Structure 1
Amino acid sequence: MTPTPARSLADSYRSVAVPKGTGVFRRFLAFAGPGYLVAVGYMDPGNWATDIAGGSAFGYTLLSVILLSNLMAIVLQALSARLGVAAGLDLAQACRANYSRPVTLVLWVLCEIAIVACDLAEVLGTAIALKLLFGLPLTWGVIVTAVDVFLILALQRYGFRRLEAFIIALLVVIAGCFVFELALARPDPGAIMRGLVPTTEILTNPAMLYIAIGILGATVMPHNLYLHSSIVQTRAFDQDVGGKREAAKLATIDSTVALGLAFFINASILILAAAAFHTAGRTDIAEIDEAYRLLAPSLGMGAASVVFAVALLASGQNSTVTGTLAGQIVMEGFLNLRLPVWARRLVTRALAIVPAVIVVGASGDAGATQLLVLSQVILSLQLPFAVVPLVAFTGRRDLMGDLVSPMWLRVLAWAIAAIIIVLNGTLLYGML
Structure 2
Amino acid sequence: MDGTLNGPAGGPPAGVNSLPEVYRSVRVPDGAGWFRRLMAFVGPGYLVAVGYMDPGNWATSLAGGSAFGYTLLAVALTSSLMAILLQALCARIGIATGRDLAQLCRERFPPVVAYPLWFLAEIAICATDLAELIGTAIALELLFGIPLIYGVMLTALDAFLILWLQHKGVRWLEALIFGLIMLILGCFVVTIALADPVWGDVLRGYIPSSSIVTNQTQLYIAMGIIGATVMPHNLYLHTALVQSRDVGASTEKKREAVRYATVDSTVALTLALLINSAILILAAATFHTSGNTEVAEIGDAWRLMAPLLGSGLAATLFAIALLCCGLNATVTATLAGQVVMEGFLRFRLPPFLRRLLTRLVAIIPAVIVTWMYGASGTAQLLVLSQVILSLQLPFAVIPLMMFAGDRSRLGALAAPRWQVVLGWAIAVLIVALNVKLLVDLAIGD
* TM-score, structure 2 as length reference: 0.94
Shift of 1:368: 1.2
Tell me by how many angstroms 1:5 deviates.
6.4
Secondary structure at the counterpart of residue 369 of structure 1: helix
Aligned 1:6-17 pairs, distance under 5 A: 6-17=16-27
Q: Answer yes or no: is 1:322 the counterpart of 2:332.
A: yes
Of 382, 391, 402 in structure 1, the residue corresponding to residue 412 of structure 2 is: 402
Amino acid at match of 1:215: I
Show CA shifts across 1:105-143 (max 9, x none).
111111111111111111111111111111211110011
Alignment match, 2:375: 365
Q: TM-score, normalised by structure 1?
A: 0.96
What number of residue pairs does the alignment pair up? 431
Q: Which moved more, 1:2-11 or 1:408-417?
A: 2-11
* Residue of structure 2 in register with 1:259 after alignment: 269
Amino acid paired to 1:115: I
3-state DSSP of counterpart to 1:258: helix
- Asked whether 1:307 is paired with 2:321, we answer no
Aligned to 1:67: 77
- The residue number in structure 2 matching 1:424 is 434
Q: Which residue in 2 is equivalent to 1:86?
A: 96
The amino acid that maps onto 2:321 is A
Distance 1:109 1:209, change over 3 A: closer
2:35 is matched by which residue type in structure 1? F
Mapped partners of 1:428, 1:230: distance in 2: 32
Contact 2:216/2:440, CA 8 A, preserved across alignment:
no
1:124 aligned residue: 134
Deviation at 1:205, TM superposition (A): 3.8
> CA–CA distance in 2 between the matches of 1:39 and 1:184?
26
Q: Verify the 8 A CA contact 1:90 1:230 in the aligned structure 2.
A: yes
Alpha-carbon separation, structure 2, partners of 1:26 and 1:180: 32
SS at match of 1:157: helix
The Cα RMSD (Å) is 1.6
Match in the other structure for 2:299: 289
**Match among 171, 190, 213 for residue 181 of structure 2:** 171
Contact 2:77 2:206 in 1 (8 A): yes
Matches of 1:95 and 1:60 in 2, distance apart?
Answer: 39
> CA shift at 1:56, angstroms?
1.3
Question: 1:89 aligns to what SS in structure 2?
Answer: coil
| Alpha carbons 2:226, 2:390 under 8 Å: kept | no
Match of 2:227 among 179, 201, 217: 217
Distance 1:173 1:423 in 2: 34
Indicate the residue corresponding to 2:68 in structure 1: 58
Superposed displacement of residue 430, structure 1: 4.0
- Residue 398 of structure 1 aligns to which amino acid in structure 2? S
Cα distance in 2, alignment partners of residues 431 and 314 from structure 1 = 34
TM-superposed deviation, 1:204: 4.0
- 8 A contact 2:28–2:245 mirrored in 1: yes
Aligned residue number for residue 334 of structure 1: 344
- Counterpart residue type for residue 136 of structure 1: I
Residue of 172, 197, 203 corresponding to 1:187: 197
Counterpart of 1:237 (choices 240, 244, 247) is: 247
- Aligned partner of 1:383: which letter? L
Correspondent of 1:157 among 160, 163, 167: 167
- For 2:400, the aligned partner's letter is L
Q: Could you give the per-residue CA deviations for residues 352-389 of structure 1, whole angstroms, max 9, x where no partner exists?
A: 11221122112211221222223223212221110000
Query: Distance between the aligned counterparts of 2:14 and 2:226, measured in 1?
Result: 35
What is the Cα deviation at residue 211 of structure 1?
2.5
Q: Identity across aligned pairs (percent)?
A: 61
Tell me what 1:198 maps to.
208
Is residue 54 of structure 2 the alignment partner of residue 44 of structure 1? yes
In structure 2, relative to structure 1, the CA distance for the partners of 1:378 and 1:26 (3 Å cut) is same
Q: Deviations over 1:375-411 (max 9, x none)?
A: 2232122211100000001111122121112222211
Label 1:60 to 1:249 Cα distance change in 2 as closer, same or farther (>3 A). Answer: same
* Deviation per residue, 1:33-74 (Å, 9 max, x gap): 000011111111111111112111222222111110100001
Q: Helix, strand or coil: the match of 2:168?
A: coil
Report if aligned partners of 1:4, 1:97 keep a CA contact under 8 Å in 2: no
**Aligned 8 A contact 1:5 1:93 in 2:** no
Post-superposition offset of 1:428: 4.2
User: Do 1:3 and 1:97's aligned partners in 2 also have CA atoms closer than 8 Å?
Assistant: no
Give ranges in structure 1 of 5+ residues lacking alignment: none
Change (3 A) 1:398 1:23: same
Q: CA deviation at 1:221?
A: 0.4
2: distance between equivalents of 1:65 and 1:373?
Answer: 15
| Structure 2: gaps (5+ residues) | 1-11
In structure 1, how many angstroms separate the alpha carbons of the residues matched to 2:70 and 2:114? 42
